[in-house]
Copies of this chain bind each other. A is one copy, B any other.
């Protein structure tokens, strides 16, 4: 639509980006998250270490980006895909749950890798904040002429709620670093399934969405 040839320059940038993501994830899975240096990732992707930092601010970002991929854009698309008749709160909630539950097949195993290292955990949680900008756009479209600040606040609140849900999810209740016991069924984890946690975290925001949709001044 915008650019049938998106520009050769841009394509190479995306190719480099994906090469870095892929290399980072592969090396992290192969030899463990801590046994990977930026220099090696850059070498595997065929660029210089300096270029690596032009794409990712930290070593962990590339790894989580590989499994997160472009989840932000997918969530935004999932919201617009829902019929305009549904409550905005429901549309957003379902879109978020949908895109976070079917994380794919291989991603499931790599997620276990992430939960182990706290540095990766943090990067993973920070990555969740990336849904805010696209969410702002789609929410603003749905709200129409309302103050654009409202859309931003709602989007940011959703991002915060998602983060909280994820925190509760990958919190094995163990203060110690290593708790790899993938318990059978009766885990001590007070948390439930990820979809459930996401819905629980997003539920308190529903009234705010409803109020924003129906312009009434109390």
Chain A 99-122 interface mask (CB, 8 Å, partner B; 1/0) = 000000000000000000000000
CB neighbours (8 Å) of A84 from chain B are: none
Nearest CB of B to A9, in Å: 19
Stretch from A43-51, A58-66, A90-98, A201-209 at the B interface? A201-209
CA A168 to CA B156, docked complex, whole Å: 14
Also in contact, A184 and B147, with CB within 8 A (given A153-B201, A205-B208): no
CB neighbours (8 Å) of A153 from chain B are: 157, 160-161, 164, 201-202, 204-205
CB neighbours (8 Å) of A185 from chain B are: 145
Query: Closest residue to A197 on the B side, CB-wise?
Result: B149
Query: Which residues 117-142 of A sit at the B interface, judged by CB distance below 8 A?
Result: none
CA A185 to CA B150, docked complex, whole Å: 14
CA A157 to CA B158, docked complex, whole Å: 8
Instruction: Report the copy number of this chain in the oligomer.
Output: 2
Chain A 185-203 interface mask (CB, 8 Å, partner B; 1/0) = 1011100000000001111
CA A204 to CA B143, docked complex, whole Å: 12
Chain A 164-188 interface mask (CB, 8 Å, partner B; 1/0) = 1000100000000000000111011
Q: Report whether B154 and A204 are in contact in the complex, using a CB–CB cutoff of 8 Å.
A: yes
Query: Closest residue to A181 on the B side, CB-wise?
Result: B148
Also in contact, A207 and B204, with CB within 8 A (given A168-B149, A184-B145): no
CA A163 to CA B156, docked complex, whole Å: 9
A81 interface residue (CB < 8 Å to B):
no
CB neighbours (8 Å) of A149 from chain B are: 164, 168, 189, 200-201, 204
CB neighbours (8 Å) of A206 from chain B are: 208, 211
Would you give 24 A-B contacts (Cβ < 8 Å), ordered by A? A145-B184, A145-B185, A147-B187, A147-B188, A147-B200, A148-B188, A149-B164, A149-B168, A149-B189, A149-B204, A150-B203, A152-B164, A153-B160, A153-B205, A156-B157, A156-B161, A157-B205, A204-B208, A204-B212, A205-B208, A206-B211, A207-B207, A207-B210, A208-B208
